[in-house]
Structure 1
């Protein structure tokens, strides 16, 4: 038996939880939930009160850290990534401890207890993450692109830098599977940007950054900024859409096999040479991949030479395609009806908080591109109308709406992923059971739950 299934692993944490929230466990039916992973955890433990001018110290939270580390060690030994738990007072007064393991078919939860998106098809990703760049006939490098001038300028700025050999450049190309643009080769012939060449001299690294205009990655640190390099949970990614305006310099993609990432702007945004530009762009333009967005990139400079010589201070990205007709949000603040949202280009329909009569889906039945539907609990007039949406790959509903579809055998088989929208205080176990019903329809690994009876002396 795995050690995370052993109550002794959890006893220190369980004791803290019980001491921190006795009122929530005082009566039958009361429960407390939490999660522990390696990078973070969420446990309902009372921490020291904040006092103005006083910062809590590690010693003040040492009991919590020690208890969490004990569980983390067990998770690590089991080869897991994280584990959820629930403490509850059973109807007969016993204290039960539930160890919940989501398994490989469930993404981390953000709204529902323990449950994020259910990945019904192994390896499936939302449509924007499958989108490849379109060809742009006639796209050429900018007139400012000048590898010889670029190399000369950088040698003047970095006279002592160690450059890459042709063999090292060829090795980097082989690892990436692409031929590096001439401007990028010129840059790395001047400096390989490797720490061992600088001897851990931070000033030398800063000189390179100042000369180039960004925090330059080493030659062997280059990577392709394709969609896989920009992962996003289904719960959020399914709401995104790829749209490229007719005059856009950069295609509105998640990523591209033609985005060669070579640096960072110092704030977490990546710089790349773009070999697959938009209709209004140039081959080899410098783009910025914003770490706070899921889709698209901004234009920094029309060429690497332009960036190094002219040092543009900012960058521009077209607004996200989070608007009609491709993405439509029907709620009390935006669109007033599904009929208003209906359009042949509609891909994502989100029905949010609503104060009127329940909403019918008839206006969007048969739309050729509709792939995502999310509906706030209680907003749909008839969940069975979803059967007419034959192209859905992601569907997020409240528990009651899912219950209607399951009982009628009407869950769309086109789905690749599903979400359970939970609002307010709901007991977690029925939600887990519902999730397992959906996973079972696709023969996916189920969420497992181990129930342990806790016998702790709370007077200790």
Structure 2
């Protein structure tokens, strides 16, 4: 089996990288970087077919070359490795830096640069921490009819096997919640075990979703929906009076019992929004970080009456909790500022750099992200006393570090490095300065190997 720290494991990939980036690697300070994990990789290589007249070699095929490294990762039980390739001092040789995961860093997405710096133990983005608001007076919809639901299911699924009272009680004990009456009635008729269905038949057409076995029903709380800091910090939870479903990351009242066949979860909702009903059916998308949509006002409404589209949500204009200031969106920071603002993102900007003065006193501003050169004075960031997450380019971080103006209350931080221009090794040095300020362990898992470039 290949070893991750053996240069021969990397040699086929190094040859491909050198052939594809010879000019870059020969330039002063030139480097090539990437990331490889057991389930995927981001490596800057074009596809190159084998030369005519001879068999393909491992050095021709990037999937085979990367496959050697994936096997080494699996052997070591590693979640992944980032790498940086530079030219060594000896002619025809390269220096390979292997960067292993750090407990102080949330892995980046498809990049060798450091991901989010975790500046406090166990800290989570504010949307992930958000619990559902109480909705006094929430009640089941008028369409909810346990007897009608049970009777209809028995008529349509005459050969179905239902769950026993012991099985239902065991599920409730495992979940830590009492199953709502309609969901309990559903499983009393059909327990959802795969072995109960002959000829690959299942109750999809009758129920309206792929029904999970009772043993696989789960609570879709916030922990069930993995949200990286770099995405969660840029989102905001906003549930208005017009919403039937609270727009949360997850809720202890979302009981998932099925799937739509495309990875989106179907759940009964026990923590509805202001315009919702207790026990309504919702869909939790697998591509988003926040929110869920209404499917039907009740399980009876979905199963018996075939309603799957919910109700339209009225359009209500209100100041955005997440504001984007750039050449195509809001024209100024003044236009973004209001007391409820939580996230400010400053993007591509072709005018004079901006002052943060209009948002100095905003009580809920917890996230700031800024594009290179957009801030007139990066040290103004120290006036934003409620910041939890700060994402800046390297130059702006350098200004804050040199001035001793890095905010003290951050929970996480991001370095917005350009993938090609900024050497990940330099970004790691910068990241370690920030981590040291917060008393966090630095990034130290770097192994340096040297080998032939071709």
TM over 0.5: yes
- Residue 159 of structure 2 is matched in structure 1 by 160
- Could you tell me which residue of structure 1 aligns to residue 232 of structure 2? 237
1:70 Cα deviation (Å)?
A: 2.3
What residue in structure 1 maps to residue 378 of structure 2? 383
What is the rounded CA distance, in whole Å, between the counterparts of 1:293 and 1:152 in structure 2?
Answer: 36
What do the CA deviations read for 1:378-415 (whole angstroms, capped 9, x no partner)? 10011111111111100001111101111122211211
- The equivalent residue for 1:436 is 432
Q: Which residue of 2 aligns with 1:34?
A: 34
> Any gaps of 5 or more consecutive residues in structure 1?
51-57
* Matching residue of 1:7: 7
CA separation of 1:322/1:428 partners in 2, compared to 1, >3 Å: closer, same or farther? farther
Give 1:194 shift.
0.7
Q: How far did 1:322 drift?
A: 12
Query: How far off is 1:132 after superposition?
Result: 0.5
For the residues of structure 1 that align with 2:116 and 2:315, how far apart are their CA atoms? 23
The structure-2 alpha-carbon separation of the partners of 1:128 and 1:354, relative to structure 1 and needing over 3 Å to count, comes to same
What is the aligned partner in structure 2 of residue 54 from structure 1? none
1:385-404 aligned at under 5 Å gives the runs 385-404=380-399
* Structure 1 residue 72: Cα displacement: 1.9
Equivalent of 2:274, from 274, 279, 283? 279
- d(CA) in 1 for partners of 2:422, 2:58: 33
d(CA) in 2 for partners of 1:320, 1:255: 23
Contact 2:280 2:298 in 1 (8 A): yes
1:371 is the counterpart of 2:369: no
Instruction: State the partner residue of 1:216.
Output: 211
Distance 1:42 1:402 in 2: 26
**What is the aligned partner in structure 1 of residue 191 from structure 2?**
192
Q: Quote how far apart the aligned CAs of 1:62 are.
A: 8.1
Corresponding pairs, count: 445
Question: Which residue is 2:256 aligned to?
Answer: 261
For residues 29-74 of structure 1, give each alpha carbon's deviation from its aligned partner in whole angstroms, at most 9, with x where no partner exists: 3221121101101223342469xxxxxxx99998433332322232
CA separation of 1:62 and 1:285: change in aligned 2, threshold 3 A: farther
Matches of 1:115 and 1:259, distance apart in 2: 34
- Are residues 422 and 303 of structure 1, via their aligned partners in 2, closer, same or farther at CA, if it must alter by over 3 Å? same
Q: Does 1:251 align with 2:250?
A: no
Structure 2 residue runs without a partner (length 5+): 51-55
> Residue 299 of structure 1 contacts residue 317 of structure 1 at CA under 8 Å; is this kept in 2?
no
Range 107-116 or range 145-154, more displaced? 107-116
Aligned-partner Cα distance in 2 for 1:229–1:346: 27
User: Cα 1:437–1:222, aligned 2, differ >3 Å: closer, same or farther?
Assistant: same
Whole-Å Cα distance in 2 between the matches of residues 366 and 33 of structure 1? 41
Tell me: CA distance 1:290–1:404, structure 2 relative to 1, closer, same or farther (3 Å): same
Partners of 2:220 and 2:236 lie apart in 1 by 18
SS of 2:32 mapped into structure 1:
strand
Structure 2 counterpart SS, 1:418: strand
Contact 2:242 2:313 in 1 (8 A): no
Task: Identify the residue that residue 450 of structure 2 maps to in structure 1.
Answer: 453
How far apart, in 2, do the equivalents of 1:320 and 1:115 lie?
40
Whether the 8 Å contact between 1:296 and 1:317 is mirrored in structure 2 is no
SS at match of 1:243: coil
Distance (Å, rounded) in 1 between the aligned partners of 2:282 and 2:33: 43
**Cα–Cα, structure 1 residues 295 and 337, in superposed 2: closer, same or farther, change >3 Å?**
same
TM-score (norm 1): 0.91
| Residue 309, structure 1, aligned to residue 304, structure 2 | yes
Contact 2:221-2:249 within 8 A present in 1 as well? yes
Post-superposition Cα deviations, 1:263-308, rounded to whole Å, max 9, x if no partner, equal 1112221111000011111100001112222111111111001100
Task: From 402, 414, 417, give the equivalent of 1:419.
Answer: 414
- Equivalent of 1:78 in 76, 88, 102: 76
Task: Rate the CA distance shift 1:269–1:315 in 2: closer, same or farther, 3 A.
Answer: farther
CA 45–112 in structure 1, closer or farther in 2 if over 3 Å, else same: closer
